[in-house]
A = this chain, B = another copy of it.
Amino acid sequence: MEAGTVTTSIPSIEGYEEIVVESIATTARLFGISAKKINNLRVAVNEACINAMEHGNNYDPSKSIVVSYACKDNNMIVTVKDSGSGKVHPDFRRPDVEEQVKKFKTERIGGWGLFLMKSLVDEVDISGSEGKGTTAILKISN
C-alpha cells in the first residue's frame, strides 16, 4: 500500500484509547508489520494515549488527543499529542518493581508506562512545548 498519514482524534475519555490502538494495529497489519511487533506496539500506544489523556488533558472530555500514524519502507511512526501544559521531564528508566512490591501497602505500584514504551518500540521520544502540549513519538521498524 502507498505511504500516507492517518490521523485520529479522540476525546479524553477512558475507553476511547482502544479505538486508536485497534486502528493503528489495522494499519500496521495492512503494511505487513509482524504480529509480534504489532502486539508490542498496541501496548505502547495504549500507554501513550492514556498518559496524554491523564497527565496532558486531565481527562477533560472536551479536550482531544490527536494521534497520527504512517508506514513507509517498513517503518511505522506514531505521534500522540495532547493539549496539556507541555511540561514534561520523561524518565525512561526501569522502575524498581521489586521495591514497589515490598512497599505495596504504603506506596502505589505503577509508573511503568514510559519504561514499557521504551522497551516495546524501537525508538521513543517525548517532548513538550509550553502551552502547546506534549507529543510522544513511537517508532518501529519491521
Contacts and interface: CB of A to CB of B under 8 A. Distances in A.
Interface in A17-56: 18-19, 22-23, 26-27, 30
Interface SS of chain A: mixed
A2 B6 CA distance: 24
Interface stretch (A7-15, A76-84, A119-127): A7-15
B26 A18 contact: yes
B6 A6 contact: no
Given A16-B1, A26-B23, A8 B6 contact: yes
B19 A10 contact: no
A4 interface: yes
A14 to B, nearest CB: 8
A5 interface: yes
Contacts of A5: 11
Contacts of A11: 2, 4-6
B22 A13 contact: no
A61 interface: yes
Contacts of A23: 8, 19, 22-23, 26
Nearest to A8: B8
B8 A4 contact: no
Interface of A: 1-2, 4-11, 13-16, 18-19, 22-23, 26-27, 30, 61
